[in-house]
């Protein structure tokens, strides 16, 4: 199922003309007709539009699809917007459980360099002894252990 085809199906019911919509979309009328045919194929060959020489009417399945298509396109647009926002705002928190030497003297320099190149990543270093660091890793309280 192609979202743009559904979007064009919805627009077609508003324009009530293949030629007018095709002109608006800057595509050929046959391309638009092919898109509608593909939607019909997706639904096991059901006829969505009864065409006459001057206009068309939606069939019962066409009317049903129109209602659902509007919801599908709206949900798709909302989802796309939300995912884009998450991508922009996404900050990954990585917890490192480390013993004193790596946690205080070795890791900070490397993590600072990494953070400068990857601003959407935050590091939290938890200093403990080697045994506790490995326990934290095994219990999934830390993403990495430095011992």
Task: Note the pLDDT tens digit of each residue in 47-97.
Answer: 999 988 778 999 999 999 999 999 999 999 999 988 877 766 666 788 999
pTM of the model: 0.60
Q: Could you give the domains of the chain? A: 3-87 (1.10.10.10), 91-146 (3.40.190.10)
Residue 125 or residue 9, greater confidence: 9
Contacts of 145 (CB under 8 A, 6+ apart): 96, 97, 98, 133, 134, 136, 137
Q: Within 10 Å of residue 123's Cβ, how many Cβ atoms?
A: 18
Instruction: Kindly tell me the burial class for residue 119, based on how many C-beta atoms sit within 10 Å of its own C-beta (0-12, 13-18, 19 or more).
Output: exposed
Would you state the pLDDT for residue 85? 73
Residues constituting the chain = 147
């Amino acid at each position: 199922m192609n979202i743009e085809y559904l979007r064009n199906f919805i627009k077609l019911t508003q324009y009530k003309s293949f030629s007018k919509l095709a002109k608006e979309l800057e595509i050929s009328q046959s391309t638009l007709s092919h898109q509608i045919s593909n939607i019909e194929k997706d639904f096991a060959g059901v006829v969505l539009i009864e065409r006459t020489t001057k206009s068309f009417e939606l069939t019962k399945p066409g009317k049903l699809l129109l209602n659902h298509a509007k919801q599908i396109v709206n949900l798709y647009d909302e989802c796309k917007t939300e995912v884009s926002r998450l991508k922009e705002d996404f900050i990954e928190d990585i917890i490192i459980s480390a013993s004193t030497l790596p946690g205080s003297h070795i890791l900070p320099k490397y993590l600072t360099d990494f953070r400068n190149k990857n601003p959407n990543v935050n590091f939290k270093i938890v200093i403990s002894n080697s045994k506790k660091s490995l326990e934290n890793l095994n219990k999934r309280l830390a993403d990495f252990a430095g011992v």
